[in-house]
Amino acid sequence: MNTYTEKIRERASALLKEGKVDMVIGFKKGTVPMATVPGIARTPQEAKAFVWDVNCRLNLAGYLTNRKEKIGIIAKGCDARNIVTHIIENKISREQLYIIGVPCTGMVDKGKISALFEDEITSFSEKGDFLQVNTSTSELNVEKADYLRDNCRICMHRNPVIHDELIAEPVPEPEIEAPFKDVEAIEALSAQLKWQHFDDLLKNCIRCYACRNACPLCYCPVCFVDESNPQWVGKGQDSVDVKTFHFLRAFHCAGRCTDCGACEEACPMDIKMRQFTRKLVKDCADVYGWEAGLSLEQRPLLDTFRADDPDAFVR
């Protein structure tokens, strides 16, 4: 058991015992190797089930929406930014929260690791910077840094921006040169090739909405996909409907997306839908100098304006 897990269990138990919070939201062990599930502990006993490893890929901020209780929450860098977004969007108040910050060194990409084997992974463990992966017929020791998720590779906010305590010393924040190479590669294509690229990207989408459900930003009481009069987007797998859905889902994250990667993690078809939100993250940074979820003082990008916002695109 790693020190993060120990510390998280200890602090979560203590908070519950002292009655400082009604519940703690964290990660528990999943049912298969290389998986964790979000879990809630309401008693110190339940807090013993919390874990922390390189598989805590989901984002816990989404479980805070409209809660009334006092909540303790385990937050890595991206979760913390989404908690800030939740607070400034009035989905929860800062006073209700006790944030246990986890300095994060990145989560691993399960897909990249399972691609190394022909059979299923039977066990997985983490030793420092190395990962030990076993299947029934083989075993492999790989370096964690080589198998990080794409969004973790370019993450520049690994330490929680908001927290009541940190469970470890802050980790150094990397300086990433040209973090938007992926977006620029698509921008360089012609309109027809871009269209083709996204057609190929989405061809396996089964419209299960797992990306929407995993996203901490998606909390509308009625989602546009469920509106029927007028119906904005068809229900089936017609490519126009799929694209319309992904465009609107991404656009609803404009100026709010922290590139946490929960959408891609939840996708059962391995669709890289971050390619939509990444463009918005880039434009927000380039045009408005905005990064989501860094400050409680600033209003969200689309909830405010400046008289001199660029409008060269307007006739």
Q: Least distance in Å: CB of 303 to another protein?
A: 8
Q: Least distance in Å: CB of 193 to another protein?
A: 8
Q: Least distance in Å: CB of 277 to another protein?
A: 9
Q: Toward another protein, which CB reaches closer, 38 or 234?
A: 234
How many alpha carbons lie under 13 Å from residue 47 in its C-beta half-sphere?
Answer: 23
Cα dihedral value 267, 225, 206, 210, nearest 10: 20
Q: Toward another protein, which CB reaches closer, 178 or 312?
A: 312
CA 290 to CA 68: how far, in whole Å? 30
Write out the residues near another protein by the rule CB under 8 A: 183, 186-187, 191-198, 224, 230, 232-234, 238, 240-241, 243-244, 247-248, 250-251, 254-255, 276, 279-280, 283-284, 287-288, 301-303, 305-307, 309-311, 313-315
Q: In this structure, which long-range contacts are made by residues 282-285, counting pairs with CB atoms below 8 Å and at least 24 apart in sequence?
A: 282/180, 282/183, 284/254, 284/255, 285/180
Identify residue 85 by its one-letter amino acid code.
Answer: T
Q: Least distance in Å: CB of 271 to another protein?
A: 14
Q: Toward another protein, which CB reaches closer, 130 or 232?
A: 232
Q: Least distance in Å: CB of 229 to another protein?
A: 13
Q: What angle do CA 147, 151, 152 make, to 5 degrees?
A: 55
Q: Least distance in Å: CB of 219 to another protein?
A: 18
Q: Toward another protein, which CB reaches closer, 20 or 203?
A: 203
For residue 1, give both structure tokens.
């058991």
Q: Dump the DSSP string for 218-235.
A: ---SS-GGG--TT--S-S
Q: Toward another protein, which CB reaches closer, 98 or 198?
A: 198
Q: Toward another protein, which CB reaches closer, 47 or 250?
A: 250
CA 198 to CA 184: how far, in whole Å? 15
Residues near 228 by Cβ (< 8 Å), separated by ≥ 6?
Answer: none
Sheet holding 71-75, edge to edge: 36-41, 23-29, 71-75, 97-101, 165-166
Q: Least distance in Å: CB of 181 to another protein?
A: 15
Q: Which of 176, 190, 144, 198 is nearest to 259 (CA)?
A: 176
Q: Toward another protein, which CB reaches closer, 95 or 311?
A: 311
Identify residue 114 by its one-letter amino acid code.
Answer: S
